[in-house]
Amino acid sequence: MRTSMLFALLRLLIALLLFGGASTAAVAGGAVYTLALIPSTPPVSMHTQWMPFVERLSRDTGLEFRLRLYETMAEFERDIWSGGPDFIFSSPIQLMVAHQSNGYIPLLRGEKLIAIGLFVRKDSPITSVKDISGKKVAFVGNKNICSVYIQHLLANNKDKLTYTTEYAGSTRNVILNVLLGKSDAGALFIPELMREPEQTRNQLRELLSTPEIAPHPLSAHPRVPASVRDAVKKAGLAMAATEDGKDLLKSVRLASPVTADYDRDYRGLEQIDVKGLTNWGR
């Protein structure tokens, strides 16, 4: 009996950790807002990473938040497509889809814009984008913004390129695939490449790069009252004025936050055929 009760409690704990209950749930007479996170690490790690920020946000706003965590990207995408979460932290293209489907409004993003590049070995015979035709290109994954944006550019190239895709699973693996000759080229976030040792960077050559884009935003469903959205935005910006707040923001990829604006920051991504280039929701 004790063992069965223990397993039942464990299943309940996992369910609460992954899904966090219904959106805008009523608890103790007040609203609890759900915050869904793009699954970049296992749920337990995401919970550890985000809870200090969420606790600080709750303290500074007087609001209650509950994390919604996911085992897979497909689960996250289906949830934001349905409009379930009150708040989401997502990639730029996921925000674009969520905005089109449910009107999600970006509130905050990191200040620094990012660019994505397609790189080859420095000694590669590939000298222009058209040389990619018939080659193998490494990407982190099917759904990553760096993968989708580069695939969009290649799909719209005037030379009608055909190439083989290789999903390496991480930025480091993409780099290794290119350097070891397993792939002819690889798509990378340029800021992530800049964090690699100089010796590694010097072995690569940029073939093309995207325009700079705004990074992952924290966004809200339009059903969330404007006063609540404004309180979250102000609290996030205020955190950046303190040293411990800066550390919290950096830990959740919102370093040096600024107010996000859909038209300015993300509308340009609507040209990308996300559904056609990815297995969205699957």
Report the pLDDT value the prediction gives residue 157, as an integer from 0 to 100: 81
Report the pLDDT value the prediction gives residue 142, as an integer from 0 to 100: 84
Report the pLDDT value the prediction gives residue 1, as an integer from 0 to 100: 45
**Residue for token digits 């404004």?**
230
**Whole-structure pTM value:** 0.83
Burial group, residue 78, by CB count within 10 angstroms (0-12, 13-18, 19+): middle
Q: Tell me the C-alpha distance between 43 and 20, whole Å.
A: 12
Q: Is the distance from CB of 186 to CB of 132 less than 8 angstroms?
A: no
Report the pLDDT value the prediction gives residue 23, as an integer from 0 to 100: 47
Q: Tell me the C-alpha distance between 142 and 139, whole Å.
A: 7
Report the pLDDT value the prediction gives residue 278, as an integer from 0 to 100: 78
User: To 10 degrees, the CA torsion angle through 111, 257, 259, 228?
Assistant: 160
| Per-residue pLDDT of the chain in tens (282 residues, 90 and over written 9) | 444 444 444 444 444 444 444 445 443 346 899 999 999 889 999 999 999 999 999 999 999 999 999 999 889 999 999 999 999 999 999 999 999 999 999 999 999 999 999 999 999 999 999 999 999 999 988 888 889 999 999 988 887 889 999 999 888 999 999 999 999 999 999 988 998 999 999 999 999 999 999 999 999 999 999 999 999 999 999 999 999 999 999 999 999 999 999 999 999 999 988 877 876 666
Q: Tell me the C-alpha distance between 191 and 87, whole Å.
A: 26
Report the pLDDT value the prediction gives residue 84, as an integer from 0 to 100: 95
Report the pLDDT value the prediction gives residue 274, as an integer from 0 to 100: 84
Report the pLDDT value the prediction gives residue 123, as an integer from 0 to 100: 95
Report the pLDDT value the prediction gives residue 206, as an integer from 0 to 100: 95
Domains of the chain (ranges plus CATH)? 2-112+215-277 (3.40.190.10), 116-209 (3.40.190.10)
Q: Report residue 178: phi and psi, to 5°.
A: -70, -45
